[in-house]
Amino acid sequence: MKLLKTLTATTALCAAGSMAGAQDMADDVTMVSWGGAYQQSQINAYAEPYMEMNPEVSITWDESSNEAVAKLRAMNEAGNITWDLVDVVAADALRLCDEGLAMEVDHDELLAPAPDGTDASDDFGDLIVSDCFIPQIVYSTTFGYRTDMVPEGVDAPDDICDVFDTETYPGMRSLEQRPINNMEWALLCDGVAKEDVYDVLATDEGQDQALAKLDTIKDSVIWWSAGADTPQLLADGEVFMGSTYNGRLFSAIVEQNQPIGMMWDAQVFDLDGWIIPTGLSDERLARVEDFLYFATDTQRLADQAKYISYGPARASSAPLVSTHAELGIEMAPHMPTDPENSKNTFLYNYEFWADYRDDIDAKFQAWLAQ
């Protein structure tokens, strides 16, 4: 009985809430993000300040960014969009935009200009990779290694090809269970020049070449599929080195004091940002736009870097990046965009992977199953 009351009480509350705000903006917002430290940084940097300014708003977080494309497509087919704002990686944003599942936006109209008056689209610059995509952060996929497992008399790994060198650096590696990034790294370490990588990878021979290179370390690889895997494997000492998002490694090294080192060589830059699903009602859209204007301004993006080591997507935010909110250390040297870290970087090729993803993936999975 009490449970029934709880149910009806919450229902009544929500009904009352949505009626009050119906004239202009919806008050219940569902945001989709990745969970973990990243979502926490978003809550700290934008969601909580926003809710302080607008106490009538309540935000529900859905940690479904991983399968955002599938779920949005299904929601769209079923005609029932329950999400208001979705945090996705750029590649997914492109796909959603292509399929008409994400709304095209006018960045200058929707987003705040930089403090010096620069238009938003210039402030974000090239990072606006799609008309639907509102960038938040630049992150990178890179390697971490156990500092206490480096063999004696050998330097710590500082070259991407050390991943493929099991003679000098014995031990397991963890790589993501998908071809993206792994194929590029394999080709780079098999003598292909950086600028030719995607041309080579577009051919059957190139794909075979990459897989053959990966074959040399296949027995010492644990394949991960969730962002939390590699830090856990490194903390357990299950692997000597592993690829993951740089923010995860930062949190393991600095916040959890694990004996892990960063290897920035050939880190792959990627973007993460918001998209607005198509088909929102007017008042929901109004609320989302109001939130976005606030959440993507220069100060908010710089604030986010207090909590996680991802670079803000606005050029004007970079000088405002300060110290870690709890530990008080300088954040700039931990950013993937720091000049010291970005000597040799790689850019995720959105066009290429949009085309070749299915095909190479079929090959990759067949190779894994052998």
- Tokens read off for 90: 């750029």
Comparison of 77 and 116: residue with beta carbon closer to other proteins: 77
Cα(190)–Cα(2) distance, integer angstroms: 66
- Could you say which of 108, 119, 208, 282 contacts other proteins (CB under 8 A)? 208
Query: Residue 296 CB, nearest distance to other proteins (Å)?
Result: 22
Residue 215 touching other proteins (CB under 8 A): no
Comparison of 75 and 217: residue with beta carbon closer to other proteins: 75
Tell me which residues in 121-140 interact with other proteins (CB under 8 A): none
- Please compute, for residue 321, the number of CA atoms within 13 A of its CA located in the half-sphere on the CB side: 25
Selection from 134, 149, 140, 144 nearest residue 292 by Cα: 134
Binding segment toward other proteins, per CB under 8 A, in 189-197, 259-267, 316-324, 356-364: 356-364
Residue 147 touching other proteins (CB under 8 A): no
Query: Residue 360 CB, nearest distance to other proteins (Å)?
Result: 8
Residue 237 touching other proteins (CB under 8 A): yes
Residue 37 touching other proteins (CB under 8 A): yes
Comparison of 59 and 332: residue with beta carbon closer to other proteins: 59
209 contacts 103 by C-beta, under 8 angstroms: no
Residue 366 touching other proteins (CB under 8 A): yes
In DSSP notation, 127-142 reads: G--STT-EEEEEEEEE
Cα(165)–Cα(315) distance, integer angstroms: 38
Residue 235 touching other proteins (CB under 8 A): yes
Comparison of 114 and 249: residue with beta carbon closer to other proteins: 249
- Identify the bridge partners of residue 323 per DSSP, sorted by sequence position: 330
Cα(127)–Cα(53) distance, integer angstroms: 29
Residue ranges of alpha helices (H) inside the chain are 2-20, 36-42, 48-53, 68-78, 90-98, 107-110, 120-124, 182-188, 197-201, 204-215, 229-236, 246-250, 282-295, 298-304, 350-369
- Could you say which of 156, 228, 327, 329 contacts other proteins (CB under 8 A)? 228
Comparison of 7 and 193: residue with beta carbon closer to other proteins: 7
Residue 196 touching other proteins (CB under 8 A): no
Query: Residue 243 CB, nearest distance to other proteins (Å)?
Result: 16
Cα(302)–Cα(310) distance, integer angstroms: 10
Residue 203 touching other proteins (CB under 8 A): no
Residue 152 touching other proteins (CB under 8 A): no
Tell me which residues in 244-273 interact with other proteins (CB under 8 A): 256
CA triple 151-153-155, angle to 5 deg: 80
Residue 23 touching other proteins (CB under 8 A): no
Query: Residue 157 CB, nearest distance to other proteins (Å)?
Result: 20
Residue 367 to residues 30, 188, 224, Cα–Cα distance (Å): 39, 20, 16
Tell me which residues in 42-101 interact with other proteins (CB under 8 A): 58-64, 66-67, 69-71, 73-75, 77-80, 82-83, 98-100
| Secondary structure of 17-67 as H, E, C letters | HHHHCCCCCCCEEEEECCCHHHHHHHHHHHHHHHHHHCCCCEEEEECCHHH
Comparison of 184 and 265: residue with beta carbon closer to other proteins: 184
